[in-house]
Amino acid sequence: MEFSAAQIATILTGEIVGNPDITVSQLSKIEEGTQGTLSFLSNPKYEEYIYSTGASICIVNKSFEPNRPLPETLTLVKVDDAYACFAKLLEVYNQMREKKPQIEANSHISESAIVGKDLYLGAFAYIGENAKIGDGVKIYPNVYIGDHVEIGDHTTIFPGATIYADCKVGTNCIIHAGAIIGADGFGFVPDEEGAYQKVPQIGNVIIEDFVEIGSNTTIDRATLGSTILRKGVKLDNLVHLAHNVEVGKNTAMAAQVGVAGSAKIGERVMIGGQAGISGHLHIADESKIVAQSGIPRTVKKAETLMGSPGIPIDDFKKSYFGFRKLPFILNKIQEFDQKLKELTKKNVNG
């Protein structure tokens, strides 16, 4: 897909310096630019690359003035905010790549299901009984949508994702490949012989609007009631939310975070990769949890926690400084102990 400098300038309301007819078909970093690619410059520390880049078009701030000759093959598009405009162009490009409405062969829509207009349904995708699918939804190949599932307008579900029965997904959500929504929670009770008996999981998962769920993330259905992700939640790949977890608005979790059953995570919380949250606790709004931390207790007020068990980050840094000094401290203790023994021996021998 090709864009000319003139087309790009029109989209971004920019000013062209160079050849308006030059075209690009790919994107590149400015330091890796080649002929036929589009790049951008917003960070001054990368300015040196614009004088040697092979990119054909570069988006720059209007304030940019070169201090030496630019490559003859380079055309500039000057805009108010190069970074924001490049992001806007990426969004336009991404929209043009999206699947157009159609129902591909070998897909299945149950007779009792209700589907909205402009649906894209990929090959071998399945929509179950009494499911409700909104307008402009994109369901890629090999997706399973269970019975009574509801999916809001303009949501995209990528290949191989599974949404179990009775779950609800809001509008403008993105569910990436391999994600599993609504599998049974980990509920077992040992009997008198110590064998684990399964506790039926009869709740569901509710995902509100503008939520994005990463590849191979799993969100368990509630034992009773609902596992809930509020509006604007963002989950990275390989996150696991257990049964009856609730996640507040605009909270973000990086890869491999695990949240145990019935934990309540507040709004605008940020959780780093591989952090673990124990069950049946609360995390206060706007808390931050550093990667690989373990949180075994309720966090009553917003703070940044680090370590396992998680403690305030400043305390952790002081503790870690002391930990790193332990070999030195132990050596000193051994020296003092040796000197004390020698002094004691002298006193005894008097």
Looking at the predicted structure, is the pLDDT value of residue 99 above 90? no
Is the same domain home to 292 and 192? yes
Assess if residue 174 is contained within a domain. Answer: yes
Assess if residue 133 is contained within a domain. Answer: no
Assess if residue 40 is contained within a domain. Answer: yes
146: tokens are: 């269970």
pLDDT tens per residue across span 329-346: 888 888 888 888 878 877
Assess if residue 324 is contained within a domain. Answer: no
* Active site members: 243
Expressed as residue numbers, the domain containing 293 is 161-309
Is the same domain home to 165 and 285? yes
Is the same domain home to 294 and 173? yes
Is the same domain home to 181 and 279? yes
Looking at the predicted structure, is the pLDDT value of residue 96 above 80? no
Is the same domain home to 293 and 174? yes
C-beta separation of 267 from 192 below 8 A: no
Is the same domain home to 179 and 300? yes
The count of structural domains within the chain is 2
Assess if residue 346 is contained within a domain. Answer: no
Looking at the predicted structure, is the pLDDT value of residue 97 above 80? no
Is the same domain home to 176 and 74? no
Assess if residue 134 is contained within a domain. Answer: no
The DSSP annotation for 90-112 comes to: HHHHHHHHSPPSEE-TT-EE-TT
Q: What is the CATH number of the domain that holds 74?
A: 3.40.1390.10
Is the same domain home to 165 and 302? yes
Looking at the predicted structure, is the pLDDT value of residue 295 above 90? yes
Question: What is d(CA 2, CA 34) in angstroms, rounded to the nearest whole number?
Answer: 15
CA atoms within 13 A on the CB side of 97: 10
Max CA distance (Å), the chain: 103
The DSSP annotation for 300-340 comes to: -S--EEETTTTEEHHHHHHHHHHHHHHHHHHHHHHHHHHHH
pLDDT mean over 220-246: 98
Looking at the predicted structure, is the pLDDT value of residue 103 above 90? yes
Looking at the predicted structure, is the pLDDT value of residue 98 above 90? no
Write down the pLDDT at residue 335.
84
Cis peptide bond N-terminal to 309, omega within 30: yes
Assess if residue 121 is contained within a domain. Answer: no
Is the same domain home to 197 and 297? yes
Write down the pLDDT at residue 269.
98
Is the same domain home to 84 and 165? no
**Confidence band of 24 (pLDDT split at 50, 70, 90):** very high
Is the same domain home to 178 and 56? no
Question: What is d(CA 178, CA 158) in angstroms, rounded to the nearest whole number?
Answer: 8
C-beta separation of 272 from 290 below 8 A: yes
Assess if residue 20 is contained within a domain. Answer: yes
Q: Which H or E element spans position 11? A: helix 5-12
pLDDT tens per residue across span 161-204: 999 999 999 999 999 999 999 999 999 999 999 999 999 999 99
Write down the pLDDT at residue 349.
67
b or e along 144-156 (b: 16 or more beta carbons within 10 Å of the residue's beta carbon)? bbbebbbbbbbbb
Is the same domain home to 93 and 209? no
Q: What is the CATH number of the domain that holds 193?
A: 2.160.10.10
